[in-house]
Amino acid sequence: MPLKQIPKISIFFLFFANHVLAVESGNPHLFKSGSYQQILDNNKGEPFVLVIWSKTCPSCLKDMAILKEIHQGMPRFKFVMLATDPLSDADEVGKIIEQQGLSDLESWIFAEENEQKLRFEIDPAWYGELPRTYFFNSAHERDGISGALTHKQLVSMISEIIEKGPE
């Protein structure tokens, strides 16, 4: 049957099913309205770092080598990766995470067309600049930093949130 004769609902189902299977096979979780709160709830009482990146951001990709090195030195510390790329890029985003040696980290990808709404849920003062990194202490007080960070800066900020704990 030619593609244009396939009912639109079937095409949608095939697209949706493909992305559900991709997520189940280790690719990023779908980040939609409410996912930010889910990440916070899943890490309640624990410090962690939320790394927001995109496959089109050269600084983001360079930072991944630093993240890998820090993660290898601190394997129990939690990093959460969030790609701002469209859901249609989920397979490519998953491959980048794997190639960078970060596939054992929790990973998410924007899954709604209204990216501004998703960014606002994370931080109303964030306008989409990348890379963007949030450091959460165990009380989930956070510091957000835009731009590339050095190994020394990342380790210093992580040490600070571990030591600080809840106030």
Q: Can you read off the two tokens belonging to residue 160?
A: 């600070």
Report how far residue 130's alpha carbon sits from residue 133's, in angstroms, rounded to the nearest whole number.
Answer: 9
pLDDT in tens, the chain (167 residues): 444 454 444 434 334 434 443 344 457 999 999 999 999 999 999 999 999 999 999 999 999 999 999 999 999 999 999 999 999 999 999 999 999 999 999 999 999 999 999 999 999 999 999 999 999 999 999 999 999 999 999 999 999 999 876 65
Report all structural domains of the chain as residue ranges with CATH numbers, in order of start.
28-164 (3.40.30.10)
Question: What CA–CA distances, in Å, run from 14 to 1, 20, 21, 25?
Answer: 15, 10, 11, 16
pTM for the model stands at 0.84
Question: What CA–CA distances, in Å, run from 21 to 7, 70, 82, 100, 118?
Answer: 21, 30, 19, 22, 23
